[in-house]
Amino acid sequence: MTILLDDRRAAQRILDHIENRTTDLGGEIWREPVANYRSEERLAMEVQQVFKRTPTPFCPSAALPQAGAYVAREAAGTPILAVRGEDGTVRAFRNACRHRGMAVANATGCAKSFVCGYHGWTYRLDGSLRHIPHEHGFPGLDKSTHGLAPLRAEESCGMVFVTQDTPALEDPALDELAHVFSPEQQLFATRERDIAANWKILLEGFIEGYHIRATHPETFYPYGFDNLNLVEPFGRNSRVTYPFQRIAKLARVAREERRVDGLLTYVYHLFPNVLITVLSRHTNVVVLEPLGIDSTRNITYTLTNRGADQEEMLREAKRDAAFVGEVGAAEDRAVVCAIQRGLGSGANEVFTFGKFEGAIAHFHRTLKAALAGRAPAA
């Protein structure tokens, strides 16, 4: 069953909001204790009980385009290696040699095998141990039991999902992502940046448009609206739609002929810590990895919106990504870092999220339920 509005229905709801000077409203105000952003114990619970038990997007499928392509990074504090095998299947492993624990791969690349840089133990793409230098020095060692330690990996809807621990219940609502990615999309940039803020503060900035006029007065606001968004929960996740002013021209177009390309931005939040932003000419997959209560690693994979066979299309995608990444993101970083600094001021015991911030309320309600080991209320 489709949960999210299709493009034409989304366009009509936006046009109705423009005409009526309204926006989507959440059902209730949510008050989140500030202590939940400052507690080491709370962060440890989030990582152990949610991050590690949830099938979480690790990277887009486009990051592993051919056999031997790999991505190696930390997720929830665990070094992980994801690689596409000779059989086309994506597998994930704990990125640690079974001899002395050194990482067998770093960053991204393409390899025929993985060789530990400490003593040369060598692993096939399927994780099995192929070679031990001077093997006679390890009498009785069974190579079949010393392959890379596997993790559960699944490829679905253009994403690679990795689960580190006993998985939580599957989320059928993720089927809504089936149309977001296409095999023709090209990954053309990957960036990492450490930001001095709690991961939840960064996340909150992506999923509400109440701040656009005040935070982005000369960048995004002149092309967008003041506090006009669609907010659609789907399962544990949500989608927030940010329309551009030029979408108003669709009022003169027959409903069945309306197209929204270049007229809005979709931001998907995949619980707990991943965002997919579908912009005019490029798509970002953003992973927020907590490093501490006041530090987060932002990993961004940037793809074309369609195939990149045409050079002009790729140039436009890179130009669009540069503006969003360098200008708008800098404004958002300044805000979230200021919020982080303000946590210790003692001014607030709770943060009050109003009805314009319904996706944030949905996130915190879902996180609270996950930490309690239960499904969130509908």
Q: Mean pLDDT over all residues of the chain? A: 93
Q: What's the confidence (pLDDT) of residue 321? A: 75
Tens digit of each residue's pLDDT (9 = 90 or more) over 313-370: 777 777 777 766 666 688 999 999 999 999 999 999 999 999 999 999 999 999 999 9
Report whether 147 contacts 129 (CB < 8 A).
Answer: yes
For residue 109, what are its two tokens?
């690349």
Question: Does domain 7-54+172-371 bear CATH number 3.90.380.10?
Answer: yes
Place of tokens 């969003």: 324
Fold match between 7-54+172-371 and 56-163? no
Exposure letters 255-292 (e unless 16+ CB within 10 A, then b): eeebebeebbbbbbbbbbbbbbbbbbbbbbbbbbbbee
Question: What are the extents of the domains in the chain?
Answer: 7-54+172-371, 56-163
User: pTM for this structure?
Assistant: 0.94
Place of tokens 């108003």: 248
In this prediction, residues 209-234 reach a mean pLDDT of 95
Is the confidence at residue 167, as pLDDT, over 80?
no
Cα gap 227→296, rounded to integer Å: 27
Determine what percent of the chain is predicted with pLDDT higher than 90.
84
Is the confidence at residue 66, as pLDDT, over 90?
yes
Cα gap 85→110, rounded to integer Å: 11
Determine what percent of the chain is predicted with pLDDT higher than 70.
95
Q: Checking DSSP bridges between strand 185-195 and strand 295-307, what pairing results, if any?
A: antiparallel
What is the SS3 assignment for 135-155? HHHCCCCCHHHCCCCEEEEEE
- Torsion on CA atoms 15, 17, 21, 24, rounded to nearest 10: -160
Q: Which CATH number is 56-163 given?
A: 2.102.10.10
Tens digit of each residue's pLDDT (9 = 90 or more) over 192-203: 999 999 999 999
In this prediction, residues 15-31 reach a mean pLDDT of 97
In this prediction, residues 163-183 reach a mean pLDDT of 84
Q: What's the confidence (pLDDT) of residue 315? A: 75
Q: What's the confidence (pLDDT) of residue 314? A: 75
